[in-house]
């Protein structure tokens, strides 16, 4: 199973480490042409505006095609990229998940926090850093984890998103969930 | 939650934001207009300043924390993280910056130091700090005080990359040496580095700093950014290199009016935009000569700069801090 981690900017190396611990072969992706050989892709945390600038129009188009064909998992900035609509400020989204997401919704760095939430009903640590919030979800989006009343891990078809950073916690359940999604899609 | 867990989690959140900045460019800006240019060009964060280091160097005087009003304007203008500098040891400036809500505080040698022997106790703050270092001992002393990110100092405001290179090489080499030393040798090494044994031991085991290690001080071109990234930096700070023009001091600029002609301290916005985009792409694709050639061809000029070899010891900013 070859998993790409989009490595334009951000904490792509933390994702690489986690995925390798779980036995995946990881490719750091700096150019969209490298997407063709992958079974799945992780879009890491970082600055979503930086990702968009570095992708450019043609890169975004290519990524748009990829997320409709192969499993993709975005955390924080990655989740923002996967959304249908982005607020504060408005910017392009890939539309892989039918959700409206708001950037920096908790506030600035001083409002970043480590919280306990529920993932498939079990407690899990969640590291929120200048995190976005999912404001609205479409009917076909499944909620996999919540923090309080807020959906924080969601899935629609092949696309999965977390508003926090599972790659910065010791718990590997959420990455495991994504690898299972990739494995199921690759077989079928 | 125990006290220990509380402080550990606080450090995880502080270094967590630094993790998000990796592979990115943090740009010095002095106005909301410049901050917007930086954000649009793909900067991962901006550093809000009253004057960029090259101006501070040219104009002299006491360099202090930027006015909160100016920092606030910049925070309101962009959605990316905003950092600001406090003077070395000036914990009251740091308290003001924390209250203002900046995302990172740079306890910086670029400003005039406020204390000749003490740095800020950075554990006492919720806002994360970045500090400069020239060598491993200095880096570990700052981390012991609570810094969540280290940046090599280089020589700010010169546009001469030679000391940015010297300092990143120095730190990387000193870390390599630690990894091959025996247990008993680490105690003596800790004494020599004037750094806490526990941190020396940690670096010896992991082969890298326990916090992200960025590069700063003289990076002015896409090739410079690629150079320090290839030498082991995890992200770059670009100070005067984006927005400085042909001169370092200009009366109009001091009054906030920029002519953007040959006599102006600032480069025309379109020019700054081209430089900023090129440095962002060069930092991402730092190992790809094809992209480096392409982006280097896009930038016709760079700041004039100042050769470090021609500076007196007294004009050096890097010797501030200990």
User: Coil, strand, or helix at residue A120?
Assistant: coil
Which stretches of chain B are DSSP H helices?
3-21, 32-41, 53-59, 68-77, 91-100, 136-144, 162-180, 183-193, 197-206, 222-230, 240-243, 251-254, 269-284, 289-298
Residue B298 has a pLDDT of 86
In B, which residues are within 8 Å of A53 by CB distance?
40-42, 277, 280
Q: Which residues of A are part of the catalytic machinery?
A: 76, 165, 167
CA pseudo-torsion sign B171, B146, B241, B82: positive
Instruction: Please state the rounded mean pLDDT for residues A4-33.
Output: 98
In the numeric block, which tokens belong to residue B42? 């793909």
In A, minimum Cα distance to B127 occurs at A110
Q: Which of B20, B40, B279, B282 to mutate to test the interface with A (most CBs of A within 10 A)?
A: B20
Residue B160 has a pLDDT of 93
A183 by Cβ neighbours in 10 Å (0-12 / 13-18 / 19+) ranks as middle
A113 contacts chain B (CB < 8 A): yes
Instruction: Please state the rounded mean pLDDT for residues B247-254.
Output: 70
Select from B16, B31, B25 the least CA-distant residue to B260: B31
Please state at what angle helix B136-144 crosses helix B162-180, rounded to 10 degrees. 80
- Which of A47, A112, A113 faces B44 most closely, judged by CB atoms? A47
Select from A161, A158, A92, A159 the least CA-distant residue to A150: A161
**Angle in degrees, CA B106, B108, B109, rounded to 5:** 170
**Angle in degrees, CA B58, B64, B67, rounded to 5:** 110
In A, which residues are within 8 Å of B17 by CB distance?
109, 112, 129-130
Give the Cα separation of A20 and A18 in Å (integer): 6
Residue B181, pLDDT above cutoff 60: yes
Select from B283, B168, B264 the least CA-distant residue to B221: B283
Give the Cα separation of B322 and B316 in Å (integer): 14
User: Coil, strand, or helix at residue B226?
Assistant: helix
Cα of B189 to nearest chain A Cα, Å: 30
Provide the percentage of residues in chain B whose pLDDT is more than 70: 97
How many CB pairs lie under 8 A apart between chains A and B? 107
In B, minimum Cα distance to A56 occurs at B42
Instruction: Please state the rounded mean pLDDT for residues B208-222.
Output: 96
Q: With bands split at pLDDT 50, 70 and 90, how would you rate the model's confidence at A26?
A: very high
Give the Cα separation of B48 and B35 in Å (integer): 8
Give the model confidence (pLDDT) of B43-90 as tens digits.
999 999 998 888 888 888 999 999 999 999 999 999 999 999 999 999
Residue B170 has a pLDDT of 98
- Which of B40, B44, B280 faces A46 most closely, judged by CB atoms? B44
Least confident of A174-178, B110-114, B238-242: B238-242
Domain-by-domain residue ranges, chain A? 2-187
> A144 near A120, Cβ under 8 Å?
yes
User: Coil, strand, or helix at residue B178?
Assistant: helix
Residue A182, pLDDT above cutoff 60: yes
Domain-by-domain residue ranges, chain B? 3-305
Omega before A89 within 30 of 0, i.e. cis: yes
Q: With bands split at pLDDT 50, 70 and 90, how would you rate the model's confidence at B267?
A: confident
Q: With bands split at pLDDT 50, 70 and 90, how would you rate the model's confidence at B20?
A: very high
Residue B302 has a pLDDT of 76
Give the model confidence (pLDDT) of B296-310 as tens digits.
998 877 777 888 888
ipTM: 0.96
* Domain A2-187, CATH class in plain words: alpha beta
Known catalytic membership, residue B85: yes
Among 3.40.800.20, 3.20.20.70, 3.90.550.10, 3.50.50.60, name the CATH number for the domain at B3-305.
Answer: 3.20.20.70
Mean pLDDT, chain B, integer: 93
CA pseudo-torsion sign B199, B205, B210, B213: positive
B11 contacts chain A (CB < 8 A): no
Give the Cα separation of B266 and B143 in Å (integer): 35
DSSP H or E stretch at residue B83: strand B82-87
Mean pLDDT, chain A, integer: 96
């Amino acid at each position: 199973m070859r998993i790409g981690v989009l490595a334009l900017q951000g904490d792509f190396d933390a994702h690489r480490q986690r995925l390798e611990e779980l036995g995946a072969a990881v490719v750091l992706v700096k150019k969209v042409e490298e997407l063709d050989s992958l079974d799945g892709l992780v879009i890491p945390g970082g600055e979503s505006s930086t990702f968009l600038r570095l992708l450019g129009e043609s890169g975004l188009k290519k990524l748009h095609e990829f997320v409709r064909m192969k499993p993709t998992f975005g955390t924080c900035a990655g989740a923002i990229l996967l959304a249908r609509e982005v607020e504060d400020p408005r910017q392009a989204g890939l539309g892989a998940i039918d959700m409206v997401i708001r950037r920096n919704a908790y506030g600035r760095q001083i409002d970043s926090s480590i919280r306990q939430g529920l993932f498939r009903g079990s407690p899990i640590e969640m590291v929120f850093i200048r995190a976005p919030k999912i404001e609205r979800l479409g009917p076909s989006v499944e909620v996999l984890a919540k923090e309080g009343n807020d959906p924080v891990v969601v899935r629609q078809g092949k696309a999965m998103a977390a508003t926090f950073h599972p790659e910065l916690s010791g718990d590997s359940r959420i990455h495991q969930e994504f690898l299972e999604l990739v494995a199921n899609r690759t077989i079928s | 939650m125990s006290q220990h867990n509380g402080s550990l989690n606080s450090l995880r959140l502080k270094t967590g934001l630094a993790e998000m900045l990796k592979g990115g460019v943090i740009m010095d800006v002095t106005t909301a207009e410049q901050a917007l240019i930086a954000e649009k060009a793909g900067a991962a964060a901006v550093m809000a300043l009253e004057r960029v280091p090259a101006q501070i160097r040219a104009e002299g005087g006491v360099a202090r924390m930027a006015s909160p009003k100016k920092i606030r304007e910049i925070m309101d203008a962009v959605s990316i993280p905003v950092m600001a500098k406090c003077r070395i040891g000036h914990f009251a400036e740091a308290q003001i910056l924390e209250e203002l809500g900046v995302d990172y505080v740079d306890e910086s040698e670029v400003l005039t130091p406020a204390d000749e022997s003490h740095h800020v106790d950075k554990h006492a703050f919720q806002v994360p700090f970045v500090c400069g270092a020239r060598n491993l001992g200095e880096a570990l002393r700052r981390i012991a005080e609570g810094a969540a990110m280290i940046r090599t100092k280089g020589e700010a405001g010169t546009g001469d990359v030679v000391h940015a290179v010297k300092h990143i090489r120095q730190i990387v080499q000193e870390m390599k040496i630690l990894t091959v030393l025996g247990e008993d040798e680490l105690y003596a090494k800790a004494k020599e580095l004037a750094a806490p044994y526990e941190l020396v031991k940690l670096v010896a085991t992991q082969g890298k700093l326990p916090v992200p290690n960025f590069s700063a001080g003289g990076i002015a071109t896409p090739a410079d950014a690629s150079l320090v990234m290839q030498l082991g930096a995890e992200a770059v700070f670009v100070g005067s290199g984006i927005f400085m023009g042909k001169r370092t001091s200009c009366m109009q600029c001091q009054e906030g009016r920029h002519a953007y002609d040959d006599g102006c301290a600032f480069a025309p916005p379109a020019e700054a935009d081209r430089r900023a985009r090129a440095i962002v792409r060069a930092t991402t694709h730092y190992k790809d000569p094809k992209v480096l050639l392409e982006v280097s061809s896009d930038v016709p000029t760079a700041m004039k700069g100042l050769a470090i070899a021609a500076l007196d010891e007294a004009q050096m900013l890097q010797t501030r801090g200990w």
